[in-house]
Amino acid sequence: MLSADELERYARHIVLREVGGPGQNVLKDSSVLVIGAGGLGAPALMYLAAAGVGKLGVVDDDTVSLSNLQRQIIHATPDVGKRKVDSAAEQIHALNPHVKFEAHAVRLDAKNVMALIAGYDLVLDGSDNFETRYLVSDACFLAAKPLITAALGQFDGSLTTIRAHETNPQGEFNPTYRCLFPEPPPPGTVPACAEAGVMGALAGILGSMMALEAIREIVGFGEGLVGRLLMVDARAMRFETLRYVRDPQNPLNGDVPTITDLSGQP
């Protein structure tokens, strides 16, 4: 049940027909794990906290640097040198004390990922490398957890939702991340953020859209992004959607699955 304070705090959600009191209670009872408290994770965490998600967790082993502040808006200048999970915790508590926050100041790997995602209903991946994206998407499939994943370029970004452990109305498995990107690009072909740069406000757009997609998935309204890749071109201010389907040869839920655990991942 929502307290009087919560009823006032979430009043603009509650008057929405698609959310209402029942939807707000579902948000309160939900739990979301965010991978990374950086450019994508920062706005996603803040909007999920503001929306009243009952439990938020974040995985990040990094500390705040001055160059982060151009886009990672959950951190502030006095936080430079702090662990990102700690500065994120302070900001979220100040924003909404009703939210339970769990800080995981560890580097995500094949040994800890299953235990980390086990305690949450939904996972948001805001990591900045393909190695982590494949690890998280494989783990979410094996743990039967829905995943919202986004990526940033210099002036472009993308967003999709993965429910590869579930079937569509035709009884077929939904596509996996590996259906969309069968293999990572060759080493050195995708420069890191520090080398290539990134438009700070674009991270805010994509991170906020991750939070919106999470809210839609939790409450259950609208058409989700399963099987759809939303692409943003900030140069032209253009939004496009690409549909993608399950690849029968993908190694997770394909016709002949070859990935049954994470033993082959670093």
Map out the domains of the chain as residue ranges. 4-243
- Contact yes or no for 112/119 (Cβ under 8 A): no
Strands (E) located in the chain: 31-35, 55-59, 100-104, 122-125, 147-152, 156-162, 228-233, 238-243
pLDDT of res. 197: 83
- Note down pLDDT in tens along the chain; length 266 residues: 899 999 999 999 999 999 999 999 999 999 999 999 999 999 999 999 999 999 999 999 999 999 999 999 999 999 999 999 999 999 999 999 999 999 999 999 999 999 999 999 999 999 989 999 999 999 999 999 999 999 999 999 999 999 999 999 889 999 999 999 998 877 766 666 666 788 999 999 999 999 999 999 999 999 999 999 999 999 999 999 999 999 999 999 999 999 999 987 76
- Residue 95's CB is within 10 A of a number of other CB atoms, namely 15
In whole angstroms, give the CA distance from residue 127 to residue 110: 15
pLDDT of res. 192: 66
Q: Which pair of tokens denotes residue 39?
A: 């450019």
Query: Which contacts (CB < 8 Å, 24+ apart) does range 12-16 have?
Result: 13/51, 13/52
In whole angstroms, give the CA distance from residue 209 to residue 192: 22
- Residue 200's CB is within 10 A of a number of other CB atoms, namely 13
Where does residue 110 rank: exposed (0-12), middle (13-18), buried (19+ CB within 10 A)?
middle
pLDDT of res. 185: 76
The distance from CA 104 to its chain's CA centroid, rounded to whole angstroms, is: 15
In whole angstroms, give the CA distance from residue 3 to residue 220: 23
Residues 6+ apart with CB under 8 A from 53: 27, 28, 30, 31, 32, 99, 214, 218
In whole angstroms, give the CA distance from residue 40 to residue 44: 6
- CATH number for the segment(s) 4-243: 3.40.50.720
Task: Order across the sheet with 31-35: list the strands.
Answer: 100-104, 55-59, 31-35, 122-125, 147-152, 156-162, 228-233, 238-243
User: Which pairing describes strands 156-162 and 147-152: parallel, antiparallel, or unpaired?
Assistant: antiparallel
- Contact yes or no for 48/9 (Cβ under 8 A): no
Query: pTM, whole model, 2 decimals?
Result: 0.95
